[in-house]
């Protein structure tokens, strides 16, 4: 398939007296190859192979899962794991996992995340109660210091 060549002739119209006519701009578009010619021409083998590859990739379901900063794409990367971290740009071989194992792993990781979130919420609640208790004690100490200052002023 040849590259399509587009010729644009943008000329400024000239009136019969040799004066330039600014309102008359002439644009001509020439196609080097008609659409019918493109359909009749044989497709090179490299393009046919690329078309087959793209077609098969689009037909297959691409399964992506994030695990330890790696993106695994089974059909696109031919079973290789691509590092998603900024410092890691290479591909490393990945062991294909059946969907059941992957679903189990996803379920297990979700459970671990849920447990970690519950622990985090409990720690947050405990921390807030400790901070509140510290504020109360600080207020009590401040009141005691004020009372001591007042009693010292009265005694002098």
Structural domain contains residue 86: yes
Over 70: is that where the pLDDT of 155 sits?
yes
Residue 101: alpha-carbon gap to chain centroid: 26
Cβ pair 55, 68 in contact under 8 A: no
Q: Which residues contact 31 (CB under 8 A, 6 or more apart)?
A: 4, 5, 6
Structural domain contains residue 33: yes
Structural domain contains residue 12: yes
Cβ pair 64, 82 in contact under 8 A: no
Q: pLDDT (tens digit, 9 = 90+) per residue, 18-65?
A: 555 545 444 444 444 444 554 455 556 767 777 777 666 655 544 444
Report the C-alpha gap between 66 and 84 in whole angstroms.
Answer: 9
Structural domain contains residue 78: yes
Over 80: is that where the pLDDT of 81 sits?
no
Structural domain contains residue 26: yes
Give the residue carrying structure tokens 């849920």.
Answer: 114
Structural domain contains residue 72: yes
Per the structure, the count of domains in the chain is: 2
Residue 133: alpha-carbon gap to chain centroid: 44
Report the C-alpha gap between 143 and 129 in whole angstroms.
Answer: 21
Q: How far is CA 44 from CA 5, 33, 115, 124, in A?
A: 19, 17, 57, 65
pTM given for the model? 0.34
Structural domain contains residue 88: yes
- The domain containing residue 90 runs over which residues? 62-96
Q: Which of 96, 113, 144 is the last residue of a domain?
A: 96
Structural domain contains residue 18: yes
């Amino acid at each position: 398939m040849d590259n399509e060549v587009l010729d644009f002739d943008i000329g400024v119209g000239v009136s019969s007296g040799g004066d330039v006519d600014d309102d008359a701009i002439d644009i001509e578009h020439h196609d080097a190859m008609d659409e019918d010619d493109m359909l009749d021409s044989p497709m090179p083998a490299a393009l046919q192979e690329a078309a087959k590859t793209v077609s098969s990739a689009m037909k297959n379901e691409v399964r992506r899962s994030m695990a330890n900063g790696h993106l695994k794409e089974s059909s696109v990367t031919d079973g290789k794991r691509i590092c998603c971290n900024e410092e890691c740009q290479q591909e490393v071989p990945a062991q294909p996992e059946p969907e059941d194992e992957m679903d189990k792993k996803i379920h297990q990781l979700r459970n671990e995340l849920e447990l970690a979130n519950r622990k985090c919420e409990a720690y947050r609640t405990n921390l807030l109660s400790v901070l509140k208790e510290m504020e109360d004690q600080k207020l009590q100490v401040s009141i005691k210091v004020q009372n001591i200052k007042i009693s010292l002023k009265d005694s002098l």
